[in-house]
Amino acid sequence: MPTISQRGLKMPASPIRKLVPFAEAAKKKGVKVYHLNIGQPDIKTPEVAIETIRNYDGKVIEYSHSAGNESYRKALAATYTRQGIEVDENQILITTGGSEAIMFAMFSCMNPGDEIIIPEPFYTNYNAFAQTAGVVVKPITSSIKDGFALPPISEFEKSITPNTKAIMVCNPNNPTGYLYSVEELKQLRELVLKHDLYLIADEVYREFCYGGNEHFSVMKLEGLEQHAIMVDSVSKRYSECGVRIGALVTRNKEILQAALKYAQARLSPPSLGQVVGEASLKTPASYFTEVYDEYIARRDFVIDELNKIPGVFAPKPKGAFYAIISLPVDDSDTFCQWLLEEFSYEKQTVMLAPASGFYATPGLGKHEARIAYVLKIEDLRNAVKCLEEALKVYPGRI
């Protein structure tokens, strides 16, 4: 029998989805599972997008341009410009979700064996993308004690080697909910210029900033015209995860030329997805106000309630809709599986994402888990109650 590739063997499994079989088994036993493990909002997609799908009258669903429909890129560029990010349609490449934009960025900027520095914990699929590109992730550890703020620049300096090619941040951050300040980003700018690196910023959650804090794009940092790459997506902004439309945005022509070759190899991004994405740019401001208010309410409720549970610590996120929380358990991987396999409270349980999968450094995240507060408050209340009751009886509590 032929053997599987080493590349396939080394490809990391998703810690967000690896517990799905246990959740499915729990549901078959009649247990209701509250999914706090994945960033799938229950927020309604904008009506303008839904109406566009209903009224689509194309006779043939064709390939688009490999870079994406020009009309969409022009409309997107105009939207960015209104937000203070001055780009044109030729500086935007439409991708199959933000995931493909990240992979295209890695493929275009780095050779196999090159290194990319990423503050951890980070979105687990960054590891998968790096593995696909043959890129080595060098993690810089942030701490729950200060809400996962950017680690000192001196720690970045220590990790830079002749093979270092890029630094990557997610802002606001998945999985921590931390929002990097202008001052922190300016520190990264100086480091990037000093060592002639790329700065890749995953900014797909930029509308979700709380407590008077505002998002600042790396595309606004002066002097990084040839260094900055922004990744974007419609998935969370418009609650359109299944549309699978993202964007790679940069003023560096060589990156765009290289990325376009990969885009041509996969032919085109989803044609219908682009139609929906372009229509979504007309979403009224009232939609975002309503969504913002809802997430603020969810965040405040779930963080306050979690911190009432003995032994649990949950820093308050400044952005996105995630939080890494500390749990009084021996091993969060074991605990999260136990919640689904062996525990239920009034025929209910909760599904969390073990935090170990969001760290690249072995052994970290053992007592932490990520939650996504993407459910309505009533469901969050029941989920927190399940967690509280589970911690009372979990045999591996510490």
Model pLDDT for residues 40-65, shown as the tens digit of each residue: 999 999 999 999 999 999 999 999 99
User: What pLDDT tens digit does each residue of the chain (398 aa) get?
Assistant: 999 998 889 888 777 778 999 999 999 999 999 999 999 999 999 999 999 999 999 999 999 999 999 999 999 999 999 999 999 999 999 999 999 999 999 999 999 999 999 999 999 999 999 999 999 999 999 999 999 999 999 999 999 999 999 999 999 999 999 999 999 999 999 999 999 999 999 999 999 999 999 999 999 999 999 999 999 999 999 999 999 999 999 999 999 999 999 999 999 999 999 999 999 999 999 999 999 999 999 999 999 999 999 999 999 999 999 999 999 999 999 999 999 999 999 999 999 999 999 999 999 999 999 999 999 999 999 999 999 999 999 999 99
CA 134 from centroid of its chain's CA atoms = 21
| Range list of H helices, 161-227 | 182-195
Given a contact cutoff of 8 angstroms between Cβ atoms, the answer to whether 172 and 206 are in contact is yes
Do the Cβ atoms of 231 and 218 come closer than 8 Å? no
Predicted TM-score (pTM) of this structure? 0.96
CA–CA distance, 306 with 38 (Å, rounded to integer): 18
DSSP string covering 83-96? TT----GGGEEEES
| H/E segment holding residue 302 | helix 285-306
Q: Are 102 and 231 in contact (CB under 8 A)?
A: yes
The CA distance from 275 to 72, in Å, is 8
Amino acid, single-letter form, for residue 295: Y
CA 296/CA 319 separation, integer angstroms: 10
SS3 content of the chain, % helix, strand, coil (to 5): 40, 15, 40
Which uninterrupted H or E stretch holds 21? helix 20-28
User: What separation, in Å, do the N-terminal and C-terminal C-alpha atoms of the chain show?
Assistant: 46
Residue type, 91: Q
Helix axes 377-393, 285-306, angle to 10 degrees: 20
Dihedral sign, CA of 373, 377, 379, 385? Answer: positive
Closest CA to 37 of 18, 52, 64, 65: 18
Structural domains in the chain plus CATH codes: 6-44+286-393 (3.90.1150.10), 47-280 (3.40.640.10)
Please name which of 292, 260, 205 lies closest in space to residue 92, comparing C-alpha atoms: 260
Q: Tell which residue, 64, 200, 39, has the closest CA to residue 133.
A: 200
Neighbour order of strands in the sheet with 322-326:
322-326, 368-372, 353-354
The partner residues of 370 in beta bridges, in order of sequence, read 324, 353
238 CB burial (10 A radius; 0-12, 13-18, 19+):
buried
Name the strand (E) or helix (H) holding 247.
strand 246-250
Bridge partners (DSSP) listed for residue 324: 370
The residue type of 41 is: P
Q: Which of 187, 35, 66 is nearest to 119 (CA)?
A: 187
Angle at 37 (CA atoms; ends 199, 235), nearest 5 degrees: 50
